[in-house]
Amino acid sequence: MKLIDLLTPEFIKVPLQGRNKIEVIKELIDVIAEQGLVDEKEKALQAVLDREKIMTTGVGHGVAIPHCKYKCPRFAIALGVHPEGVDFESLDQKPAHIIFLLIGPEDDPGTHVRLLSRISRIIMKEEVRSRILQSSSPQEIYEILKAEESQYFELSA
């Protein structure tokens, strides 16, 4: 499995409209729900927010990776870009402009961790972040991630 197998252009939203962390997470859950992978959006939102209470998912460098385990048929990832940035209480106290949302089945914590690791590894490269922020379409962002991920081994499920 590769990140780009899950994060196709249909799961990428440019730009995000929300004014705060909760609104942005709701937008990304809507993206996943539109693809039929989440049927109870409020419960999914609560699962993400419960995870946020443990520790912020604002990892710094303008990136947040909210995530949770939730009853869903398979892993789902959505990506949004917010031009102004949103306060995610990030470790570096800077707003998040690139937000990945990962929702995964409750019974596969290993793949969940591997996907989080892959997202982190790719997005922590300044050049990748810069190119994503300059992109104007989901397809363009998908191509950036595809090219970057081609350098890594496939994730085992």
Catalytic residues: 67
DSSP state of 79: E
CA–CA separation, 99 and 17 (whole Å): 12
Lookup: tokens for 56:
């912020």
Any idea of the CA torsion for 96, 120, 15, 43, to the nearest 10 degrees? -90
Is the CB of residue 80 less than 8 Å from the CB of residue 12? yes
Check whether the bond before 15 is cis (ω within 30° of 0): yes
